[in-house]
Amino acid sequence: MINYIVRRIGYGVLILIGVNLFTFMLFFTVNTPDDMARMNIGGKRVTQDAIEKWKVERGYNKPLLWNADKPGIAKLTDTIFYERSVQLFAFRFGASDSGRDIGHELRERVGPSIALAIPTFLLGIFVVIVFSLLMVFFRNTYLEFWGVTFAVFLLSISGLFYIIVGQFFFSKTLKLVPISGFSGGWDLFVFLALPIVIGIVSRLGGEALFYRTMFLEEVGKDYVRTARSKGLSENVVLFRHVLRNALLPILTSTVAVLPLLFLGALIMESFFGIPGLGSYTIDAINAQDFAVVRSMVFVGSALYIVGLILTDISYTVADPRIRLS
Amino acid sequence: MPKLVFLATDLALYGLVAVIAFYIWHALRTPTLRQTWRSVLHDAAAMSAGVVLMLFLVIAMLDSFHFRPLLPAAPGAAADAAPAYSTRTLSVLDALLAGPRESREKTYSVPLGTHQYSKESMLVDGKSVRDFPRLQFGGAHLKDPAGEWRGDVITRSLTGLLGGALTAAALWLVVAALRARSAKTGVGTSLRAIWNRTTEVPWRAMLLTATVIALFAGWVAALWPYYHVFGTDQTGNDVLFQAIKSIRTAVVIGSLATIATLPFAIVFGILAGYYKGRVDDGIQYVYTVLSSIPSVLLIAAFVLMIQVFIDKNPQLFDTGLERADIRLFLLAAILGITGWAGLARLLRAETLKLGELDYVQAARAFGVSDAGIMRRHILPNVTHIVVIVAVLDFSGLVLYEAVLSYVGVGVDPTTNSFGTMINSARNEMSRDPIVYWTLLAAFAFMVTLVLSMTLFASAVREAFDPRARAFRVRRAKPGPATPAVPAVIVPAAGT
């Protein structure tokens, strides 16, 4: 088991190296630092001096991979690749293109992201399970038909509509919650209520349909027939037997997304003015701050890999029949 | 003679239509495929959705034949001077809808409005007054808007609806007559069969959908020449026209991005599953790397790169439309490059299974080459997965485009798309008094498109994947098969 996990982590590091090389190639060789400078300073007529100055300020004037002018080990370390890419593995992100420390920003912003993402995630799972279990409970009736129709309809609406209409209806017309913003203490609930509800609704359709098929798959199994033939009521069969057994695959499949919760909800955060990592990313994309985008790519894939490893482990914990080797 | 322009996405769409046509021809010749598709043909919801999708596809294709109109010769120019073409590239759809496209107001106006939505200083009888000015085009034929407007809109709506109803009635009769001819019965019997749903193909559901479309189209056709049916946006452009133009963008993104994933997914998925070992490890490594990067970031990174390329090489593009189009094309390609991992994983698993089957072993024993086995024995047996995933992905991509446009890495801001429409609607909803019609139009069109595709896709999946059929909603007794689609179009028609 330990052996397996160590190997998985090794593979994860290998993947991260791949991600790193790939982003480095994309950001520095497909596109030269000169192009970045030109885009960042903006405007058509940018002098070469201004570009050089911009590059020196951010350390992009160094050679990409090999600095022949430096002695000894500095030949390798005094390069863009070492300073910008290799350092990421030590979680030293350096400064963003606008000059602020990325690591500091990330630590500041992780809190609000989690404050939004975790309640959305937990409540979301609860609501989806209740909704899909009810559909299974009322299967082969009109209720199920309309439940599925409703879910398909929800699925066909862009998440942006929920946000725009929700903000208009609950914040502007009814004035129940503020339109956007963030603060600590008790106010947190007021600010987060609407984004959480919308986050749940926008995922409800697709996930409810998916969970429904999972439950239906369980309902067809032998142990359910046995339970019924023992004379247990449909309620007990569904909520005690089916739910418990279907929860295992559901939980193991959600473990994979747990680490990604740290990244926050991109769209939700920026619409509701929550100073989390999602809005940070979107701001960086809009400001064409390549240093931040690169760091977020790294953090995001690192979290994804952690999720993959956790999934493998959770399989063995949930189902003792699976042995990892 | 106007100068024909072939944009990159135009050519891709022609290619797509050719591929679909080829697939249909192929499916017709293959008995098993014909049998599978027959179950889609007999699904009421899927066929109603199909009617809507056909309409959208026709609109998208009309919008994909581009040309640059010939400008009238300059006065005093030599007779043999080179002809000058307009710098604006138009499509056939633009030409057909020239009226609404060119009737441009100054700024916002409400749906079917006669007056501007904001006050302006005007000179009335020599005095300066601040009031809502009349629109230049919307309701311009009315002398006294306050008194005549209601009557005029009602008469025109009724005329339009009547026209739509007549067209629909004609359609019912034509279908009934055609059926009667092949079945050698009377038209009346045929009509009754359609209405009682005793036909194999769900004609009633399809015709009801077509009726709703005809009524809506008739209503629009009667009012559009005189009013802005969905109002105008901030710069005074007709919102309904924009929504119709957005259809092509959505279709391009949805279909081209799906097509772009196929080569990577099919080649890598089958290679990994067939050769196993080192090849498999390598391919798995590549797609794990790609799928471990959050997709929005990966797409953003690519789009920022192509934007630099486009900005650096302005000489490559003759007109603004061509520049915007190459961005749309590349965006679809990027969505394909970043999105093939999921399908490749499925194909790899299926190939692993197929590789162990007897007929593949037999082929190998007969000395068929590896390439031959993959092409002749594996590929045809995994196409059902490709078809399922391709239709399922379409709706997701259309929705994704809106998100990407919001993040700022979607289509060019000058391209009409549902994403750009929703984006502008954000500020309009917080404006006072609010402007709701852009959002409403985008919503109505987008939901209709995505919902139709979802319904169609789920029927296709049920047809190709026997396991999915087990999860189908079964009702205790066969209820009225009113398809879900017309129920969705109704709110759009009622506005």
Give B468→chain A minimum CA distance, Å: 9
Which chain B residues are within 8 Å of A281, Cβ to Cβ?
296-297
Calculate ∠ Cα B445-B449-B455, nearest 5°: 140
B320-340 tens-digit pLDDT:
788 888 889 989 998 988 889
- Say whether A160 and B422 touch across the interface (CB within 8 A): yes
pLDDT of residue B479: 41
B371-415 tens-digit pLDDT:
999 988 899 888 888 988 888 888 889 999 988 888 888 888 888
Compute the average pLDDT of residues B135-160.
Answer: 84
Q: How far apart are CA B261 and CA B333, in angstroms?
A: 8
Rg (CA), chain B: 26
Longest Cα–Cα distance in chain A: 85
For B293, which of A19, A152, A172 is closest by C-beta distance? A19
Q: What is the mean pLDDT of each run of 10 residues along chain A (325 residues)?
A: 85 89 80 72 71 74 70 69 74 76 87 89 92 88 90 89 88 80 78 89 89 86 89 86 82 78 80 88 83 86 87 76 65
Residue B362 bridge partners (DSSP): none
For A213, which of B403, B471, B484 is closest by C-beta distance? B471
Residue bearing tokens 């309640």: A119
Give B434→chain A minimum CA distance, Å: 10
Which chain B residues are within 8 Å of A155, Cβ to Cβ?
395, 454
pLDDT of residue B483: 39
Compute the average pLDDT of residues B110-123.
Answer: 82
Compute the average pLDDT of residues B189-214.
Answer: 89
pLDDT band at B453 (very low <50, low <70, confident <90, very high): very high
Compute the average pLDDT of residues B212-217.
Answer: 94
Give A118→chain B minimum CA distance, Å: 19
pLDDT band at B482 (very low <50, low <70, confident <90, very high): very low
Give A164→chain B minimum CA distance, Å: 6
Helical residues (DSSP H) of chain A, grouped into ranges: 2-24, 33-41, 48-58, 74-77, 80, 102-137, 142-155, 159-166, 187-219, 222-229, 234-236, 243-255, 266-271, 277-286, 290-318
Best probe of the B interface among A161, A294, A303, by most B CBs < 10 A, is A161
Which chain A residues are within 8 Å of B426, Cβ to Cβ?
164
Residue B134's SS3 state is strand
Query: Would you say residue B267 has pLDDT above 90?
Result: yes
Query: Would you say residue B202 has pLDDT above 80?
Result: yes
How far are the Cα atoms of A137, A155, A191, B167 from residue A201, in angstroms, in the given order?
21, 10, 17, 40
C-beta of residue B324 within 8 angstroms of C-beta of residue B307? no
Contact of B301 with chain A, judged by CB distance below 8 Å, is answered with: yes
Q: Which residue of A has its CA nearest to B438?
A: A161
pLDDT of residue A5: 84
pLDDT of residue B452: 93
Q: Considering only residues 239 to 258 of chain B, which have any Cβ-Cβ distance to chain A shorter than 8 Å?
A: none
Q: Which residue of B has its CA nearest to A217?
A: B471
DSSP letters for B383-404: HHHHHHHHHHHHHHHHHHHHHH
Query: Would you say residue B211 has pLDDT above 90?
Result: yes
Residue bearing tokens 């409403």: B440
For residue B89, the 8-state DSSP code is -
Q: How far apart are CA B141 and CA B155, in angstroms?
A: 14
C-beta of residue A79 within 8 angstroms of C-beta of residue A62? yes
C-beta of residue A205 within 8 angstroms of C-beta of residue A132? no
pLDDT of residue B100: 80
B239-263 tens-digit pLDDT:
999 999 999 999 999 999 998 899 9
For residue B229, the 8-state DSSP code is T
Q: Which of B360, B354, B363, B420 is nearest to B382 (CA)?
A: B354
Write the CB contacts of B82 (distance below 8 Å, at least 6 apart in sequence). Answer: none
- Say whether B399 and A260 touch across the interface (CB within 8 A): no
- Give the β-pairing of B90-91 and B120-124: unpaired
Contact of B490 with chain A, judged by CB distance below 8 Å, is answered with: no
Residue type, A308: L
Query: Would you say residue B307 has pLDDT above 60?
Result: yes
Write the CB contacts of B165 (distance below 8 Å, at least 6 apart in sequence). Answer: B211, B214, B215, B218
B341-376 tens-digit pLDDT:
889 999 999 999 888 888 888 998 998 898 999 988
Residue type, B382: V
Best probe of the A interface among B281, B292, B427, B489, by most A CBs < 10 A, is B292
pLDDT of residue B53: 94
Write the CB contacts of A145 (distance below 8 Å, at least 6 apart in sequence). Answer: B473, B475, B479
Query: Would you say residue B478 has pLDDT above 70?
Result: no
Helical residues (DSSP H) of B239-340, grouped into ranges: 239-275, 277-292, 295-312, 320-338
C-beta of residue B485 within 8 angstroms of C-beta of residue A160? no
pLDDT band at B475 (very low <50, low <70, confident <90, very high): low
pLDDT of residue A43: 61
Return the higher-pLDDT residue of A166 and B480.
A166
- Say whether B446 and A144 touch across the interface (CB within 8 A): no
Query: Would you say residue B491 has pLDDT above 60?
Result: no
Residue B129 bridge partners (DSSP): B122
Write the CB contacts of B71 (distance below 8 Å, at least 6 apart in sequence). Answer: B83, B84, B85, B86
Residue bearing tokens 């630092």: A33
For residue A79, the 8-state DSSP code is S
Return the higher-pLDDT residue of B422 and B318.
B422
Which token pair is B137?
A: 């085009």
Residue type, B41: L
Burial A287-319 (b: 16+ CB within 10 A, else e): ebbbbbbbbbbbbbbbbbbbbbbbbbbbbeeee
- Say whether B294 and A149 touch across the interface (CB within 8 A): no
Which chain A residues are within 8 Å of B492, Cβ to Cβ?
none
pLDDT of residue B270: 93
Q: Which residue of B has its CA nearest to A279?
A: B407
Residue bearing tokens 């701001």: A283
Q: How far apart are CA B351 and CA B349, in angstroms?
A: 6
For B301, which of A27, A149, A286 is closest by C-beta distance? A27
> What H or E segment, with its residue span, contains residue B91?
strand B90-91
Which chain A residues are within 8 Å of B302, Cβ to Cβ?
26
Could you tell me the pTM of the whole model? 0.87
C-beta of residue B424 within 8 angstroms of C-beta of residue B25? no
- Say whether A26 and B475 touch across the interface (CB within 8 A): no
ipTM of the complex: 0.85
Calculate ∠ Cα A25-A26-A29, nearest 5°: 55
Compute the average pLDDT of residues B174-203.
Answer: 86
pLDDT averaged over chain B? 85
Least confident of A44-58, B166-180, B205-219, B400-414: A44-58
pLDDT of residue B283: 92
C-beta of residue B192 within 8 angstroms of C-beta of residue B201? no
Which chain B residues are within 8 Å of A142, Cβ to Cβ?
475, 479
